[in-house]
Amino acid sequence: MNAEYTRALARTGTRMPPILVHRRTMCVIDGVHRVRAAELSGREHVEAQFFDGDEDDAFVLAVEANTANGLPLSVADRKAAAERIIVTHPARSDRWIALVSGLSASTVGEIRKCSSVQGGQSNTRIGRDGRERPLDNSEGRRLAGELMRANPNRSLRDIARAAGIAPSTVLDVRNRISCGEDPVPARKDAAERQAGSAGPPRRQAAPRDELDPVAIMRTLCKDPSLRLSEVGRALLRWLDTHSVTDQAPPPVEEIPAHCAGPIAALARHNARFWTAYSDRISDQPRSDDHTAL
């Protein structure tokens, strides 16, 4: 409990979001400070929503709810939460746990490597969309490439279903093939060669160039299907306002300590929004599914 934060809540007098309560144990999952603030204000009732899952799922919900309400958890707390979730939900993907805990997927991956839970070493993970996918999608990428070459007009969704990979992965395979690259990124091939061959690994291909957001926006603005429609122009204005360029952000060392938490939470929110928006675009059915930006 943070007494200063509780008193600040009590002084606001504004309506606060409902607290979240685990019905079986009647423990507050999210909103302990709001309950205490209501007590300090002399109120006898608070709005509440009940959760009927088990205690492990209640913990996940508590961590996830922290990104939207209340004081943000410290990095150490988030890492500890991710470590516990890896133990209780070993089949969940690093990205799913990262979304819940407010960490990066790479950080969750490092925590998983240090975990002793046996289930964490399974060959599949359940992603943010609830689908189960293999950890190594190299074979799926190769199969997608073969299906694509056999029928270039076959839709992304159809190839994704046949190859057992995500449509966004199929899109990446198609982009790599169009650039004359192998469907499987070099780092995946290198790892396979190291595990399955005693011979010296081949030299890895140079990494792909980073995207140039300015050049992409310039290309989109020239596209008649966007430039000559009201909806398209609105989309271009929105993208131009919200896109992040290569300009360096202000140094984090200059951020006041009391503002660091809210700013970090806002950055995580923006990252989750763009990830979800990207997934929605990739999953959108198209009649001309063989054409992509």
pLDDT over 70, % of the chain: 75
Structure tokens at 128: 């943010």
- 3-state SS assignment for residue 174: helix
pLDDT value at position 47? 92
If phi > 0 it is left, if psi is from -120 to 50 it is alpha, else beta; for residue 102 that is left
pLDDT value at position 293? 40
Mean of per-residue pLDDT scores for the chain: 76
Extended strands (E) in the chain: 19-22, 27-30, 48-51, 124-126, 132-134
d(CA 275, CA 278): 5
Residue 121: is its pLDDT beyond 60? no
Structure tokens at 26: 């009647």
Q: Are strands 27-30 and 19-22 parallel, antiparallel or unpaired?
A: antiparallel
Tens of pLDDT, residues 17-70:
888 999 989 999 888 888 999 999 888 899 999 998 888 888 888 888 876 666
Helices (H), 47-93: 55-66, 75-88
105 contacts 95 by C-beta, under 8 angstroms: yes
Q: Are strands 132-134 and 48-51 parallel, antiparallel or unpaired?
A: unpaired
Short-list 209, 183, 170, 179, CA closest to 290 = 170
Enumerate the β-bridge partners of residue 50: 21
Is the sign of the CA dihedral 206, 243, 165, 290 positive or negative?
Answer: negative
Name, of 3-12, 37-46, 222-231, the range with top average pLDDT. 37-46
**Cβ contacts of 183-192, under 8 Å, gap ≥ 24:** 183/141, 183/142, 183/144, 183/145, 184/138, 184/141, 184/142, 188/136, 188/138, 188/141, 189/138, 192/138
Short-list 13, 19, 84, 74, CA closest to 42 = 13
User: For 58, which DSSP code?
Assistant: H
Neighbouring CB atoms inside 10 A of 225's CB total 9
Structure tokens at 268: 């995580």
Residue 88: is its pLDDT beyond 70? yes
The residues, any chain, with a CB within 8 Å of residue 156's CB and separated by 6 or more, are: 167, 170, 171, 174, 282, 289
Tens of pLDDT, residues 172-196:
888 888 887 888 887 544 444 455 5
The model's pTM: 0.43
137 contacts 165 by C-beta, under 8 angstroms: yes
d(CA 59, CA 57): 5
Q: What is the mean pLDDT of residues 110-116?
A: 80
Please state the φ and ψ torsions of residue 228, each to the nearest 5 degrees: -100, 10
